[in-house]
Amino acid sequence: MTLANKAAIVTGSTSGIGLGIATALAEAGASVMLNGFGNPDEIEQVRAELATRTGVDVRYSAADMSDPSSVIQMVKDAESVFGKVDILVNNAGIQHVAAIDEFPADRWHKILAINLSSNFFAMQAVIPGMKARGFGRIVMVASAHGLVGSPFKSAYVAAKHGQVGLTKVAALELAETGITVNAVCPGYVRTPLVEGQIADQMKAHNLDREEVIKTVILGSQPNKRFVEVAEMGAVVAFLCSDMAQSITGISLPVDGAWTAR
């Protein structure tokens, strides 16, 4: 499988799943625009290392996905440096855990803006060029929480279900254009975000690391193991390949049977 001569944007790719996906796309030969927050020196190190190791053009945009005008500017910048955008991976996301009656309004708005609305504005910006070239791959990184709910995650679950709905509509609208639109729905993936949760839960429940992983974190993931970021990268790279041209409008669980119940 090759993605040579393809150009990609992966939002929220300075760490975790997004970086795993950007790495897989670059390894398959695609030019990649990274995006996300973090220490500028560390981001530059990641960018340069990926470019050197894979030999592809790797750029970085600091665009804030909570701001629609920044999202649109990121797409314009990618089109300007790469000449086009063939692949858009909407991955940036944040979480806040609280009961509905205590959920802060600003967190609700921020989660909806980053996890869902940015997907819409980025798609809107890339679609005209994709249509003109007769090729496009749009992948939403949703979640098992795009398919099922959990208490205390109202904004996150609403946004993730929104990504799944948006995927279906876009796939139907674009079905005859050569553009596919799919969502991937990971269960728990081993990322810095989740590593932090393990440490917090060890303290909160007075459990050791293995017990926290088995009972607290992976309680809902029947295969009792984390998805690795490289697995997410491989799934997304396949969905972006020519051989996946008939796969569109799906929401693919990568969750160790979490949503099989």
- List beta partners, residue 181: 138
12 binds ligand NAD (CB under 6 A): yes
The tokens for 1 are: 């499988």
111 binds ligand NAD (CB under 6 A): no
Measure the CA–CA gap between 90 and 139, rounded to whole angstroms. Answer: 6
197 binds ligand NAD (CB under 6 A): no
Name residues contacting ligand NAD, limited to 37-76 (CB under 6 A): 37-38, 64-66
Q: Which residue has the tokens 């009656």?
A: 101
Q: Which of 8, 18, 82, 253 binds ligand NAD (CB under 6 A)?
A: 18
259 binds ligand NAD (CB under 6 A): no
Segment interacting with ligand NAD, rule: CB under 6 A, options 34-42, 80-88, 173-181, 237-245: 34-42
36 binds ligand NAD (CB under 6 A): yes
Q: How far is the CB of 38 from ligand NAD (least distance, A)?
A: 6
φ, ψ at 121 (rounded to 5°)? -70, -35
Sheet holding 58-61: strands in order across? 58-61, 31-35, 7-10, 87-90, 136-141, 179-186, 251-254
Question: Which residues, 6+ apart, have CB-to-CB distance to 230 below 8 Å?
Answer: 20, 23, 24
Segment interacting with ligand NAD, rule: CB under 6 A, options 85-93, 96-104, 174-182, 207-215: 85-93
Measure the CA–CA gap between 168 and 32, rounded to whole angstroms. Answer: 25
Q: Count Cβ atoms within 10 A of the Cβ of residue 85 and give its class: 0-12 exposed, 13-18 middle, 19 or more buried.
A: buried
Furthest C-alpha separation in the chain: 57
Q: Which of 7, 8, 10, 17 binds ligand NAD (CB under 6 A)?
A: 17
Catalytic residues: 156
Q: How far is the CB of 33 from ligand NAD (least distance, A)?
A: 12
Q: Which of 91, 117, 201, 248 binds ligand NAD (CB under 6 A)?
A: 91
Q: How far is the CB of 96 from ligand NAD (least distance, A)?
A: 11
Chain residues in the site for ligand NAD (CB under 6 A): 12-18, 35-38, 64-66, 91-94, 114-115, 141, 143, 186, 188-189, 191-194
